[in-house]
Chains A and B, each alone.
Chain A
Amino acid sequence: MSYFVDENGFYGKFGGAYIPEMLYPNVEELRQKYLTIMQEPAFQKEFQELLKEYVGRPTPLYFAKRLSEKYNTKIYLKREDLCHTGAHKVNNTIGQILMAKRLGKTRIIAETGAGQHGVATATVCALMGMECIVYMGEIDIARQAPNVARMKMLGATVVPALSGSRTLKDATNEAIRDWINNPVDTHYIIGSVVGPHPYPDMVARFQSVISEEIKKQLKEKEGSENPDYVIACVGGGSNAAGAFYHFLDEGEVKLIAVEAAGLGVDSGESAATSVLGHEGIIHGSKTLLMQTEDGQITEPYSISAGLDYPGVGPLHAHLCESRRAEFISVTDDEAMQAGLELCELEGIIPAIESSHALAVFKKKNFKENDIVVLNLSGRGDKDLDTYIKYFKL
């Protein structure tokens, strides 16, 4: 079985490009050119240089000694939290801004939920001197004020999405509408492995630097490229896609995707798409989707703004259905405790998204000799308010 995208843009039965005709020329142009552009030596040179000099790659693969002792296994943390801007998101925005330049685009649009992708997009637009418009749900603007300020300082225009539930899915709708309105000069930098083909594949490729580095670093540290497990949290799924990418065909490496259960999978306040979703179409992609019986998309919930997406990238839907990856749901409470534990044991304050991945150690037993790589996708600075409120600090 293949876990990579096929020539029609599908992962098994998931994926595709269910887009209105208005978007066809842009998406088709990208589909025809993205692989060629990404393979150009000049593109690769510029991309790799920026990842090294600007983003700060390679990020460390850190052996978490005290965490390992506590859970009696060998835990490595892939430190994406040390990337410039504080999360893995920038790997993709660097790649896409270079893509946009080569496509001759002069105006960049993006959607953002918690604001991390918005900040990463505003950052690369500042770097390249490009106009940047970020769509953000009105409700998210209110609850993520520091990231809104960051984007503004970086020169981006933040446009509130006022439609629907006024959160991430609606910000994505607004960005897509902007693209329909501005088909010639604009490139849409999608922040996750979602959206119409070729976005899920393109974003996964830009993020695949994560697993490429893990292999190399693990070889140096353990003498083998392959760990026993790779763990990553999944909202749309970009950090997981990057962490899994080069292990997809390595059957001996077990993949664990961690979703946000919110207040509990059966509570009605959850974002565990693999459990609660069924096949449907969101933002141009056929995938697992939280929806009503009538096909209306529902609003998910998680304490982590980066995980409350009602769908999941089509690659992950395929990994779930084919059982290539094990999907585990983690509640708000479990994640918050796991985040605090990492602070206390390792001196690292994780993003709440990454805290969900960390909670797996309390839910699943690993063997003493297992090598477990956990992708620490982001740092917790942006979440301080939530941590303060939760722990009454």
Chain B
Amino acid sequence: MNRINKKLQEDKKLLSIYFTAGFPKLNDTVSIIESLEKSGVDMIEIGLPFSDPLADGPTIQASSTTALNNGMTTKVLFDQLKDIRKTVSIPLIIMGYFNPMMQYGIEAFCKKCAEIGIDGLIIPDLPVKEYNENYKTIFEKYGLINVFLITPQTGDERIRFIDEISDGFIYMVSSAAVTGSKSTFGNAQSDYFKRIETMNLKSPQIVGFGISNAETFEQATKNTKGAIIGSAFISHLNNKGKDSISAFIATIR
């Protein structure tokens, strides 16, 4: 069984952390992943930086620019991760935009992920239909779970369709916003979280976008399986450095 699915069966609210590979320093990738696991994080999203991250706010944009300037590339990331499974056992997901993956070659990219022990991919700008028609068989061949996004604007029928073709969890975007925008959740979010809960989807939901502290983590996970923190973690890395990762995680739960 895929590590993601095994993790989803655990009887707890999951904390997933996103970070941009190659930030703050090019070779921080492995040590950040190891520290996150030691700090009790359940799952990690490794961000493959892109020059034009459409769905991301200023924090992740800036970390991506820094990472690219540091020399991060798809090949460098795969090299850094080649022995990651010797030390890390929690699920690892690569999150990135479609163009760099396309240039690497989708099949080659998936094959490499499988060799390394990557469990899934999140590709915000790969449309559901395009994935389903052209790439699903390749992902499945390499045992990779593709994670789809839903938003407060996604219609019920489309949510049902996404649920049906999801093998792992659904990435629930908390609000109509790019990453790192909101610092609190209001009624609109809690109504949305409840609405999705009552749909009784087969796929567990993990909430992302706008989760930055214990309060928002608790709100986001009240009706869902877990939550993802990205921008707030990157800001923390930026301000406090990677030695204080466990201190940050301890403030969340």
Contact = CB atoms under 8 A, between A and B. Distances in A.
Interface in A266-303: 279-284, 289, 291, 293-298
A294 B52 contact: no
Contacts of A182: 176
A176 interface: yes
A286 to B, nearest CB: 9
Interface of A: 16-22, 24-25, 163-164, 169-170, 173, 176-177, 180-184, 279-284, 289, 291, 293-298
Contacts of B98: 18, 281
Contacts, number: 112
Nearest to B54: A176
Interface stretch (B120-128, B199-207, B214-222): B120-128
A185 B155 CA distance: 17
A17 B127 contact: yes
A177 B54 contact: yes
B84 interface: no
A163 B178 contact: no
A281 B52 CA distance: 10
B127 A164 contact: no
B199 to A, nearest CB: 16
Interface in B168-182: 173, 176-178, 181
B55 A296 contact: no
Contacts of B155: 25
B166 interface: no
Contacts of B128: 21
Given A18-B126, A283-B54, 17 more contacts: A18-B98, A18-B127, A20-B124, A21-B148, A21-B151, A22-B153, A22-B173, A163-B61, A177-B178, A181-B176, A183-B153, A184-B176, A281-B97, A281-B98, A291-B99, A294-B73, A298-B51
A280 B154 contact: no
B73 A21 contact: no
A20 B147 CA distance: 12
B150 interface: yes
Nearest to A21: B149
Contacts of B68: 296
B102 interface: yes
Contacts of B153: 22, 24-25, 183-184
Contacts of A298: 51
A21 to B, nearest CB: 4
Contacts of A169: 52
Interface residues of B, number: 42
B100 interface: yes
B135 to A, nearest CB: 12
Given A18-B127, A24-B154, A282-B52, A294 B103 contact: yes
Contacts of B61: 163-164
A256 to B, nearest CB: 29
Most buried by B among A19, A24, A176, A295: A295
Contacts of B176: 22, 180-184
A298 B54 CA distance: 16
Contacts of A181: 176-178, 181
A19 B54 CA distance: 9
A180 B177 CA distance: 6
Q: Which 9 pairs from chain A and chain B are nearest by CB?
A: A295-B100, A295-B103, A21-B149, A296-B51, A20-B124, A20-B55, A294-B73, A25-B153, A281-B99
Contacts of B97: 281
B103 to A, nearest CB: 3
B149 A281 contact: no
A297 B52 contact: yes
B241 interface: no
A296 B48 CA distance: 11
Contact of A284 (B51, B65, B125): B125
Contact of A19 (B65, B125, B177): B125
Given A19-B125, A21-B124, A164-B51, A294 B102 contact: no
Nearest to B73: A294
A16 B158 CA distance: 19
B243 interface: no
Contacts of B74: 294-295
A28 B96 CA distance: 23
A280 B178 contact: no
A75 B21 CA distance: 56
